[in-house]
Amino acid sequence: MPLDIVTVPCLSDNYAYLVQGPDGVCIIDAPEAGPLIDALEARGWTPGVILLTHHHHDHVGGVAELRAKYGCKVMGPKAEEDKLPPLDMGLAEGMNGGTGEGYTVPIEVPGHTLGHMAFHFPEGGVVFTADSLMALGCGRVFEGTPEMMWASLSRLRALPPETLVCSGHEYTLSNARFALTIDPGNDALQARVAAVQAARDEGRPTAQVPLSEELATNPFLRASEPAVKAALGMDGATDAEVFAEIRKRKDNF
């Protein structure tokens, strides 16, 4: 039974997700309760678990209301326990759970925050990355270091290329404009930017993309590419140094 994944727009540009699989329904991040309750009720679904990626308010603001309404269990990174709403279970790497397509592997991807987690469903073929790897971009490095974020992205980059990457914000169009300044000669990027523009013109979400497409077009994942290093005048630099330079340019873009 394949996972049924529902993208739920929340707040001004956040995405939360509903995942229905063999173990029931789980919610990935809860920016606010209202849109999630509407999406659940429209399908007659009752969530059993909320999985939280990191402590920022725009990912956890709806937890208390959802927990009160459904009595669902709340799980998130143990490393951020002191900043998160009360957890029923603090997660660390290795605490995999679920069955079949619902089998869930938490991956520690620090950088944006120190405890940020991604949730990989290897049998379901999807990874929820929130503010770590994002469509054509990555989260700002608030708590960690660029080296740490590069290491986190490198782990996500190594997942099977057909994996669907579902991230936490609709930032793709502004990410696309920046990506073109780093990698202007990339034909796949040019084509993707046009597709993203068309999707946004129709109001469709663009933050759910196969990893293979990110590998071909996301400048932050391409910091190791000789063409990208050359375009930045950083031929002899390490991958992490090139990543740090791209991140710095994006912060000032």
- The site for Fe ion (CB under 5 A) is made up of 58, 131
* 58 or 183: CB nearest Fe ion: 58
Q: Quick one: which segment of 128-136, 149-157, 174-182, 223-231 binds Zn ion (CB under 5 A)?
A: 128-136
Among 131, 170, 214, 245, binds Zn ion (CB under 5 A): 131
Beta strands (DSSP E) in 62-178 are 73-77, 89-91, 105-108, 117-121, 126-130, 133-134, 137-138, 164-167
Let me know: does 228 contact 215? Beta carbons within 8 Å: no
192 near Zn ion (CB under 5 A): no
* 131 or 239: CB nearest Zn ion: 131
C-alpha distance from residue 51 to each of 104, 106, 120, 219 (Å): 10, 10, 12, 28
CA distance 14 to 66: 17
Let me know: does 104 contact 127? Beta carbons within 8 Å: no
We find the least distance from the C-beta atom of residue 59 to Fe ion, in angstroms, to be 6
Say which amino acid occupies 91.
L
Among 14, 17, 47, 56, binds Zn ion (CB under 5 A): 56
We find the least distance from the C-beta atom of residue 130 to Fe ion, in angstroms, to be 7
* 209 or 228: CB nearest Fe ion: 209
* 9 or 22: CB nearest Zn ion: 9
Q: How far apart are the first and last CA of the chain?
A: 44
Q: Which two tokens stand for residue 112?
A: 């944006």
* 55 or 120: CB nearest Fe ion: 55
Footprint on this chain of Zn ion (rule: CB under 5 A):
56, 131
